[in-house]
Amino acid sequence: MDLEKESTIQVDTGKAKDIALQCNKLLEIQREIVDLENQLKLKKELERKFSEETIPNLMHEAGITLMKLADGGLVEIKTKYYARIPSSRTDEAYDWLRSNGYEDLIKNEVNMSFGMKEDNLARSVVEELKAKGLNVAQKTSVHHSTLAGWVKEQITDGKDVPNDLFGVYVANRSHITTNK
């Protein structure tokens, strides 16, 4: 068997040029996408600054929280509450919730779903199954909107919340409605 004859590959150089041309076009499109994503990131930060700083500060200086626009729309400043447990502090945050009577916020999954207010039941089922020698996987979570709602409730009730543990962010945001 002659290996030299069987290993010869024919390449259509015209097609190779077409492929290279299309690859260059793809690279240009990818560069444009990165540029557009960077522009969008900058625009979002600019929007946040106007919504959370510039307009609320001007309205605060004017002593107003609501203003009617010429077109009949409204500008209103609303307090928004955000919270997210940092992944590096999940266990610590859950321990804090449990030790402070807020374990009902924790959702658990042990090959079946446990809802809010079932944290103790989920833990006891996991412990019982582990005691029987079963390899049990438990997944716990606190939904971000549930956490944000709880944070809002705690803050408006004047209760202390460990801000760093729950990634608390409170912002006065401009809300504009138009009649157009």
80 confidence band (pLDDT: 50, 70, 90): very high
- Indicate if 60 and 111 belong to the same structural domain: no
118, part of any domain: yes
Positive or negative torsion for Cα 14, 19, 20, 26: positive
72, part of any domain: no
- Indicate if 100 and 155 belong to the same structural domain: yes
Instruction: Answer whether 0.75 is exceeded by the pTM.
Output: no
- Indicate if 94 and 140 belong to the same structural domain: yes
6, part of any domain: no
How many structural domains comprise the chain?
2
Instruction: List, for residues 12-27, the tens digit of each pLDDT value.
Output: 777 888 999 999 999 9
73, part of any domain: no
Range of the domain at 53: 13-64
Question: Cα separations (Å) of 144 from 6, 48, 166?
Answer: 62, 20, 10
pLDDT value of position 35: 98
Instruction: List, for residues 83-136, the tens digit of each pLDDT value.
Output: 999 999 999 999 999 999 999 999 987 666 678 888 898 888 888 888 988 777
As a whole number of angstroms, the longest Cα–Cα distance in the chain is: 93
- Indicate if 88 and 45 belong to the same structural domain: no
Degrees, nearest 5: CA angle 156-161-163: 110
